[in-house]
Structure 1
């Protein structure tokens, strides 16, 4: 895994930029993807320690992206945080069942996002 690298998969450039600024201020390096297929290519090559993915994206949604990550040996252990404007219990359950370690609703609180991501990365690293 690529230490301190976080993949941000979101089709909204403003959200990607906000997440990148927030995470970089917390000491992480980031790489962004505007759709699921681009994120899939990046994660299999760069092998980030974590990924933040939106649920709804073009070409491959966040749930499909989570399933791909969990079924790819080199990256199956990376921390995955799903974010979405869909905060109904069904959506949260579906996100977690697809392989996400955590699920946060939008709008995002930057400090909570960083704390949640750090917790997920620590849990994954501990085994």
Structure 2
């Protein structure tokens, strides 16, 4: 795992930029991906400690991306935070069943997102 590296998979460039700035201010390094296929390629090479993924993306959605990550022994232990404009209970359940550790609804509060991500990382990697 690449410590302090977080992958942001979201098709909205403004969201990627906002989250990158927030993560970097909190001491993380951030990489962005505009769709699920790009994110999947980055994951296998960069091996980040965490990923923030939108549910709805072109090419591969966030749930498929989570399943892919959890199926790869080299990255399955990374913390995954799913974000979406859909916050119904069944959407949250589907995200968690797909392998996400947490689920936040958009619009995002960057400080809350960073706090949640830190907590998820510390649960998956005690001492970090």
Gaps of 5+ in 2: none
Name the counterpart of 1:11: 11
Q: How far, CA to CA, are the matches of 2:113 and 2:19 in structure 1?
A: 9
Name the counterpart of 1:71: 71
Gaps of 5+ in 1: none
User: 2:66 aligns to what SS in structure 1?
Assistant: helix
Name the counterpart of 2:54: 54
User: 2:120 aligns to what SS in structure 1?
Assistant: helix
Q: How far, CA to CA, are the matches of 2:66 and 2:44 in structure 1?
A: 12
Q: How far, CA to CA, are the matches of 1:111 and 1:58 in structure 2?
A: 27
Q: How far, CA to CA, are the matches of 1:7 and 1:112 in structure 2?
A: 17
In the TM superposition, what is the alpha-carbon distance from 1:126 to its structure 2 partner?
Answer: 2.6
- TM-score, reference length from structure 2: 0.98
Name the counterpart of 2:20: 20
| Matching of residue 120 in structure 1 with residue 123 in structure 2 | no
Pairs aligned (count): 127
User: 1:81 aligns to what SS in structure 2?
Assistant: strand
Q: Deviations over 1:41-85 (max 9, x none)?
A: 000100000000000000000000000000000000000000000
User: 1:126 aligns to what SS in structure 2?
Assistant: coil
- TM-score, reference length from structure 1: 0.99
